[in-house]
């Protein structure tokens, strides 16, 4: 977030101070007039790396039993991953406080026509399109915890090759664009 914040500030300053015409005195701040944007990106990278190191050293390490398949060295581990206490665990429904204007849950509710309809009918098309692009359905179904545990990172050879070819294609396009516009 620190790198994003500094980058957004630099972008806002860059848009607020226009480039002077030829022959005019450059009255922009030195960070705009004297530091090229590619050098600024290196400074921003160093700042982000410094923040990452400081935050990493300032926080306590995770216990080893919580690191299965989270690090490069344990990516092929077959041991079950243990979540930290309080992280990712949701409270049971009966422990959650209700809103003051909501009805108590112990009273049976009459089925109405809206609750019988498709839940996607109440969401907009843009929202459903974003969910579709992200591979989500928008409906939260309770899953069996035993089935949702990922124990292997193996992938089929076809999709591994498709992913690798796409990565090389995008890398080639990015290098071309960087070389063309830099």
DSSP element (H, E) containing 161? helix 157-181
> What one-character DSSP code corresponds to residue 113?
H
Flag whether the pTM goes above 0.85.
no
In tens, the pLDDT along 21-38 reads 898 888 888 888 889 989
**Domain boundaries of the chain, sorted by first residue:** 2-64
How far is the first Cα of the chain from the last one, in angstroms, to the nearest whole number? Answer: 26
Tally the C-alpha atoms within 13 A of residue 23's C-alpha that lie toward its C-beta: 0
Kindly tell me if the per-residue pLDDT of 41 is higher than 60: yes
Nearest by Cα to 76 from 154, 149, 156, 158:
154
What is the dihedral angle through the alpha carbons of 36, 40, 43, 47, rounded to the nearest 10 degrees? Answer: 170
- Asked whether residue 94 carries a pLDDT value surpassing 70, the answer given is no
- List the single range of 78-82, 101-105, 156-160 with lowest mean pLDDT: 101-105
Q: What is the pLDDT of residue 162?
A: 94
Residue 155 Ramachandran class (φ > 0 left, ψ -120 to 50 alpha, else beta): beta
């Amino acid at each position: 977030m620190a790198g994003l914040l500094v980058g957004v500030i630099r972008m806002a300053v860059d848009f607020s101070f226009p480039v002077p015409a030829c022959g005019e005195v450059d009255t922009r701040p030195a960070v705009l007039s004297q530091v090229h944007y590619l050098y600024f990106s290196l400074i921003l990278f160093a700042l982000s790396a410094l923040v990452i190191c400081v935050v990493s050293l300032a926080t306590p390490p995770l216990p080893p039993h919580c690191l299965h398949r989270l690090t490069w060295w344990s990516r092929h581990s077959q041991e079950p991953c243990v979540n930290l206490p309080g992280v990712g665990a949701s409270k049971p429904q009966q422990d959650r406080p209700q809103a003051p204007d909501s009805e108590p849950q112990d009273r049976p509710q009459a089925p109405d026509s809206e609750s019988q309809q498709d839940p996607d009918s109440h969401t907009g098309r843009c929202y459903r399109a974003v969910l579709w692009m992200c591979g989500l359905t928008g409906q939260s179904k309770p899953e069996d915890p035993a089935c949702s545990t990922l124990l292997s990172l193996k992938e089929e050879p076809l999709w591994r090759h498709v992913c690798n070819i796409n990565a090389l294609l995008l890398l080639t396009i990015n290098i071309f664009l960087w070389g063309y516009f830099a």
